[in-house]
Amino acid sequence: MDKQEKIVSMFNDIAGRYDIANRILSMGIDKSWRNKACNKALSLYNKERIEKIVDVACGTGDMIDFWKTIANKNGIELKNIVGVDPSVGMMDVAKQKFPEVEFIEAGAAQMPLDSNSADIISISYGIRNVVQRQEAFDEFARVLKKDGLVVISEFTKQEKTNILDHLTDFYMNKVLPTIGGIISKNKEAYRYLPDSIDEFLTSDNLCKELRQAGLEPIHVKSFSMKISTLIIARKI
């Protein structure tokens, strides 16, 4: 089993308890991060009608719910939203919540979607789980329409410069794996989260990779003591 298969298998294993673990571990603040991402992206895209949003690594469908709700609140007609994920277990949960949404079993680097067909592609807390990241960015550029947006929310690696940074590090490395392991009954999965962040890129390097794919970052902002970072890039 290669690294990507192991990651998919891990998410299949924790799918049933993923939502409740997420809410408890983030103390609900991930809802604020997702809300900010959707509102900012829709503001930057600035269209009253959106043909298609593709949510990659859609998991149990959290971001799909935000896209639909926030588009509606802003009076934006969202014609179609598609969820893409290689984890069948996670998507089975999403399908129960959103039976009207189309879900596709696929990885980020190889999506069975038409070229120049999506207005927005989002990936929330999933890009660090994509082994072929540069290939995924190339694929996003292929699927996006010209001037379409990639919306990335992620836990990115940050320099530890003050006491709050070290407190955050303690929570991510000590508290989160223990509580997450108890809730999900899979401590290894929640040990993977801080490890994957520590091995991950900085925001600057992520922006360089996006540019290599023809996706120009137009908005970069960190939230909640730099725990979560939002990057929005436009296809040029």
User: What residue spans define the domains of the chain?
Assistant: 3-156+201-235
Class of domain 3-156+201-235: alpha beta
Other CB atoms within 10 Å distance of the CB of residue 223: 15
Residue 202 annotated as binding?
no
Q: Which of 144, 154, 146 is nearest to 206 (CA)?
A: 154
Q: Euclidean distance between the first and final Cα of the chain, in Å? A: 37
Tens-of-pLDDT digits for all 236 residues of the chain? 567 777 667 665 655 555 555 555 556 688 899 999 999 999 999 999 999 999 999 988 999 999 999 999 999 999 999 999 998 888 999 999 999 999 999 999 999 999 999 999 999 988 888 889 999 999 999 999 999 999 999 876 655 555 655 555 555 555 555 655 555 566 565 555 555 555 556 888 899 999 999 999 999 999 876 778 999 999 99
Give the three-class secondary structure for 111. Answer: coil
Residue 60 counted as an annotated binding residue? yes
The amino acid present at 124, given as its one-letter code, is S
Write down the residue that tokens 């010209």 correspond to. Answer: 146
Whether residue 85 is annotated as binding a ligand: the answer is yes
pTM (predicted TM-score)? 0.81
84 within 8 A of 57, measured Cβ to Cβ: yes
Say what the pLDDT of residue 20 is: 54
